[in-house]
Amino acid sequence: MSSGAAASAHAGGATHVVVKGDSLWKLAEAHGCTVAQLRKANDMTREDALVLGTEIRLPSCTGPKLREHVVVEGDSLEAIAARYATTVAALRKHNDLDSNLIRVGQRLRLPRDAGASLVRSGQSHGKVDDGRLEDPTQLPHSAAYYRRRLPRTYASEHLVAHTVRVVEAVRNQRPGVHRLAIGDLSAETGGPLTGHRTHQSGRDIDLGFYFVDAPASYPAEFVPATRENLDVAATWDLLEGFVRLADQPGGVALVYLDYDIQRLLYPAARRDGWTVEQLAEVFEYPDGRGADGRVVRHLWNHHDHLHVRFACPPGDASCR
pLDDT digits (tens, 9 = 90+) for 245-256: 886 778 899 999
Tell me whether the CATH fold assigned to 68-114 matches the one assigned to 117-310.
no
pLDDT band at 40 (very low <50, low <70, confident <90, very high): confident
Q: Residue 16: beta bridge partners?
A: 56
Average pLDDT, stretch 33-58?
Answer: 80
Do residues 227 and 201 lie in contact, with contact meaning Cβ atoms separated by under 8 Å?
no
122 alpha-carbon distance from chain centroid? 21
CATH of 117-310, one of 3.30.1360.170, 3.20.20.70, 3.30.70.20, 3.30.1380.10: 3.30.1380.10
Q: What does the pLDDT read at residue 314?
A: 77
CA distance 192 to 186: 9
DSSP assignments along 188-203, one per residue:
TT-S--TT-SS--SS-
Q: What does the pLDDT read at residue 111?
A: 77
Sequence spans of domains, the chain: 8-58, 68-114, 117-310
Cβ count near 146 (within 10 Å): 16
Q: Is it the case that residue 230 has pLDDT exceeding 70?
A: yes
Do residues 285 and 259 lie in contact, with contact meaning Cβ atoms separated by under 8 Å?
yes
Do residues 313 and 249 lie in contact, with contact meaning Cβ atoms separated by under 8 Å?
yes
pLDDT band at 64 (very low <50, low <70, confident <90, very high): very low
CATH class, domain 68-114, is alpha beta
pLDDT digits (tens, 9 = 90+) for 100-141: 999 988 988 887 666 666 677 789 999 999 999 999 999 999
CATH class, domain 8-58, is alpha beta
Q: What does the pLDDT read at residue 169?
A: 87
